[in-house]
Structures are given as C-alpha cells and as structure tokens.
Chain A
C-alpha cells in the first residue's frame, strides 16, 4: 500500500504555504522531508494524514494504512507505559505490545506511570506506539526531538525494520537520521507565493 501525492497545495491558518507538491511513496521506501522552520512540513504531514483538507491537489492512499505521530505523543501521564501501549494497540485492533517495548528498550519502564518518564523516554514510548498500530505507512513529524544519539539509532533501526517488512515512512526532521536509503525531499522549492486563500470563510475554519 503506497501513498501518492499529486500537485498538492496546502494552507495553514488561511495562508498558502506549499504549492504543487508531488511525490510517490512506495512500500519499502522512506522519504525524509527537509526545510526551514515554518515552511509547512507539519501542515503537509497533517494534510497527508487526513487531519486537514488540501486547498487543491490530491492525496491518494488508503486512510486505513496511515498512522500519524505529531509533536505530542498522546501519552497519558497517569497510565503506565504498558497501559498506554495497550490502549493504542486495542484502538488499532492489535494485541502485541512486546515487540514495540523491545524495539525501543522500554522493558524496565513498563510498570512506571508515563508521567514519571524523562522527555526522551516519553518520546521512545510515543514511537513505540507506531509499532503497536500495525499500520504500514508511518507519518512522523520530527520523531527524534529530545532523543539521544543512542535512541536515534534505535529509531533508525525500527524504521529500517519497518521498511524491510514492506512498510513505508514519511518523516519530517532536521537531523541526520542515519537512514542513507531514504529519499530526501527538500520542500523549500515548493514554497507558495504569498497569497491569501480566496474563500474568506475558509480563513476562519
């Protein structure tokens, strides 16, 4: 199951940020999005994930193949690590959380309340959530924030394993992930010519 984005124009807060973005993400491949702050990487990822509609253009994919991970991890502080993962596994109709725990070395933390974890540990838990969903297309917004070098390598290994299983990943990041096989897409050239969205009402939605 792939992802095909054609001639996509997206807006944030009623202002167009990127225009004419086209790419295809095939199973087993990864695309790394790069560009300066505020260029619209997050907006692009949210649009592809179906959280907001595009201004024009098309995103062709099976919505049931996508899992999105944003800046926040969606972790409940009063639930334990295992309870957090179990919840997301059940929501996505899966049962296995052991693989995810092992992949991000959370074994020693499983019974700890997530609120007591460090920022990096929380992020590892947030990334482990991707594995328990069992979905093939990962859409990740700056997944390595607050991770140390070792955890970044852990993450790169998890992505690589995911690609080997026929999954794919679309990742916005500023750092070197250690994924030489990933295709790098610079979004800078797609920057929209500053123009307000024509539809006045749309600016308020």
Chain B
C-alpha cells in the first residue's frame, strides 16, 4: 500500500503528472475574481470565503479524472486488481494520493490567496480548518466518481455531473463555516456537519468505489 502511495506521489511530481494543475487553477480563479467584480475591497472581503471555497472545489474537480483513468489506460488497474491488495485499499490510497497532491496544497495556499481577496483577519483560521476538513471528502467522493466513469473515454463531463451534486453539502457547510468565521460568529455547527460528512464519506465510499470498479473492470 505504501508502495502504491509513493508511486502515485512520484508520478504526480514527474513531468505531466498534474501536481501543480489544481493549485495553478486556484490561483487563476482567485486573481481573476477581483478583476471581475471590481476593486471594492469591502465587497471582496464579503465574498472572499465563498470564492476561496468555490475555487478549491473546482480545482479539485479538474484533476479527478486522472485518479483512475491513467491507470486504466496503461493496464495498471487490471494488474493491481489481481495483486494482493484489496480493491478498497487501492481506492483509498488513490484518494489519499489525490488529496496529498491536490487538496493539501490548496489548504496550504488558501491563506496566501486569502490576502489577494482581502479576506478579513478573523476569517483565516476557520477557512483553513474548513478546507482541511472538507477537501478529503472531495477527494474520496471524486474517487468514487472516477471509479464509476473509469471505462469511458473522455468521461470527464459525466464525472463532473455525477460528482458535483455530491459536492454541494460540503461546499455549503465549508463556505458557511468560513463565512461565520469572517463575521466573528460561532461556527461550531457547520464545523461538526463538515467533519461528519467527511468521516462518513471516508468510512463508506471506498467500499462503493471498490464495488463499482470491480464491475467496470469486467
């Protein structure tokens, strides 16, 4: 399992691995928003938390079809399926590798990007915590979507359509938590909801992903 994780991380870092893809997209969204809405910093401050969450979510979406499609194309997935690793472990590791290469950099970059949107000072901590809690669920749900569409050529559109509705609750609670942080309100409730959603998806979805992947490999 560790070998698979190391291989996936190494592949992401090498040329064409797509490591910086999500981060670059996030940066583009964040830098373009002030041009789009105008330079009023009070307006930016109000929408900053929502924009940051939306940007992180879309950046995550961008790299989902790489999670399994590349391994499917070169035959590695067939070979992994006959390897001594259980399929549940394979999809969990794949989701973890995706989070480490996409979600975690977004979390770490969010405070810097918050500056670009003049995010108010009390908002930084809740924003980072909400992203830290929410992005693992994005990766796990995304892996499920990737497993569903793995046999399809250019399944990216279908994947987005399948995954986006499942992302909505995470976006709602994540952005709500960050927004309440900005306003100086108590954000315990959205924090607990977000943590609950993430724990639930991590506990259950690998089994679903493994099941659909087995069907897709036939």
A-side interface residues toward B, CB under 8 Å? Answer: 46, 49-53, 64, 66-79, 83, 86-88, 90-93, 129, 205
Q: Report how far A46 CA is from B81 CA in the complex, Å.
A: 11
21 residue pairs A–B, Cβ–Cβ below 8 Å:
A49-B82, A51-B217, A51-B218, A52-B218, A68-B79, A73-B74, A74-B79, A76-B76, A77-B74, A78-B14, A78-B17, A79-B10, A83-B10, A87-B4, A90-B3, A91-B3, A91-B83, A91-B84, A92-B83, A92-B84, A93-B84
Within 8 A of A (CB), among B1-42: 2-4, 7, 10-11, 14-17
Asked if B78 CB lies within 8 Å of chain A CBs, one says yes
Contacts of B84 in A (CB 8 A): 64, 91-93
Indicate whether B108 reaches chain A with its CB closer than 8 angstroms. no
**When the two chains form the complex, which single residue of A51, A76, A79, A205 contacts B82, counting CB atoms closer than 8 Å?**
A51
Shortest A50–chain B CB gap in Å is 7
Residue of B11, B81, B83, B215 ringed by the most chain A CB atoms within 10 A? B83
Known: A51-B217, A205-B218. A76 touches B7 (CB 8 A): yes
Question: Nearest residue in A to B218 (C-beta to C-beta)?
Answer: A52
CB pair B218–A72 under 8 Å, yes or no, is: no
Contact mask for chain B residues 71-107; partner A; CB cutoff 8 A; 1 contact, 0 none: 1011110111111110000000000000000000000
In angstroms, Cα B79 to Cα A129, docked, is 10
Interface size class of B (residues with CB under 8 A): 20 to 34
Pairs of residues from A and B, 8 with the lowest C-beta to C-beta distance, nearest first = A72-B75, A90-B3, A78-B14, A74-B76, A52-B218, A74-B79, A74-B75, A68-B82
Whole-angstrom CA separation of A75 from B10 in the bound complex? 14
B75:A76 contact, CB within 8 angstroms: no
Residues of chain A within 8 A (CB-CB) of B71 are: 74
Contact A70 B81 (CB under 8 A): no
Give every chain A residue within 8 A of B215 (Cβ-Cβ). Answer: 205
- Does the CB pair B78–A74 fall under 8 Å? yes
Q: Which single residue of chain B is at the shortest CB-CB distance from A87?
A: B7
Q: With A64-B84, A91-B83, A205-B215 as known contacts, state yes or no: A73 contacts B75, CB within 8 Å.
A: yes
Which residues of A lie under 8 Å from residue B80 when comparing CB positions? 74, 91
Question: When chains A and B are docked, how far (Å) is the Cα of A70 from the Cα of B4?
Answer: 20
B14 and A91 contact, CB distance less than 8 A: no
Report the Cα distance A69→B78, complex, angstroms.
Answer: 9
Tell me the minimal C-beta distance from A111 to chain B in angstroms.
14
